Amino acid sequence: MKLSAIVAALGGELRGDDRDIQRLAPMDEAGASDITFLANPKYRSQLVATEAAAVIVKPALAEEAAKVGRSLILAADPYLYFARVARLFSPLPQAQGGVHPRAVVAESCRIAASSEVRELVSIGRNVIIGERCILHPGVVIGDDVCLGDDVVLYPNVVVYHGCRLGSRVMVHAGAVIGADGFGLAWNSDRWFKIPQTGVVVIADDVEIGANTTIDRGALSDTVIGEGAKLDNQIQIAHNVTVGAHTAMAGCAAVAGSTRIGARCTIGGAARIIGHLEIADGTHVGAGTLISKSIRKADAYTAVYPMATHKEWLANAAHVRHLDDLVTRVKQLEKALSTAQQNKD
């Protein structure tokens, strides 16, 4: 693809020769037919060494970047622009309409003619599937499920009965949508299972990573808001709400009935206990445990720094006696205050 074609499609300003581009690459690996980007100024030293045909940079760096003799595309946000170039070079697969003869589909289903149902897919009763969807091998769709347009379900995705997915939803391999929430009541000497009668509702433009699980609601629904992005191996419990355009990294876990606001970021392996409210625009660091509601948007982190095992044991011994130490400090402060008063 010519640089001029990229600029015609995505905007920006071309400086230098209109070169042919074969692929995208990081600056330190790019070759003579590659395009790369500079988003973080601390990597500007790599401009001199890169062999890329073209570099995407901010306008403020145009003069400096031009000295290295590369073609440039000037963009306000080079990282976002690079992502859009990547989409140009790697377009989403297009559905080839039709149902494979080795798929099992209930007669009461309504599947748009433009959608593709591949081999070994199982679709239950009264399912509605919109236009241009792709269901990869091994997908299982329960009764009364509704899929919007342009939905992609990768191999072995399971969508339980009654769940609803909006348009342009992408669910990666092995994810389970709508399994029962962990609802139990203690009955004298054993657990009694509480029926989980809600469903999972996923809005438009959501992406769900491989082996992520989203439980159905106990009474009301579990809801994933528009444009939310969930990484691999995430657990979303029953009745959770994830706000629009919130992004969650791998292995995060959210307990039941918590409401996460819009435009939040949740770091990998973060844990959020149940029945909490997380404000819009909150950022939770990796490995952080959130045990109370967050009413004010900010960045929250609670992770001990790494130490050797010997150091950790020594520090843990002191932490165990922290309350005693605080009590002694207060007693000393009180004694010093009394002594000072007597002196005065």
Active site amino acids: 238
What is d(CA 61, CA 74) in angstroms, rounded to the nearest whole number?
Answer: 9
Give the angle subtended at the CA of 49 by the CAs of 43 and 55, to the nearest 5°: 65
What is d(CA 219, CA 76) in angstroms, rounded to the nearest whole number?
Answer: 46
Cβ-proximal residues to 258 (8 Å cutoff; 6+ apart), any chain: 237, 240, 241, 272, 273, 274, 275, 276, 277, 278
Q: How long, in residues, is the chain? A: 344
CB atoms within 10 A of CB 135: 29
Residue 328 structure tokens = 């002694």
What is d(CA 98, CA 95) in angstroms, rounded to the nearest whole number?
Answer: 9
Among 187, 183, 231, 177, which Cα is nearest to 207's?
231
What is d(CA 30, CA 174) in angstroms, rounded to the nearest whole number?
Answer: 34
The single-letter code of the amino acid at 76 is A
Q: Cβ(282)–Cβ(264) under 8 Å?
A: yes
What is d(CA 282, CA 33) in angstroms, rounded to the nearest whole number?
Answer: 41
Q: Look-up: residue for tokens 């590659």? A: 34
3-state secondary structure of 244: coil
The single-letter code of the amino acid at 136 is H
Backbone angles phi, psi at 198, to 5 degrees: -80, -175
Q: Cβ(297)–Cβ(281) under 8 Å?
A: yes
CB atoms within 10 A of CB 40: 9
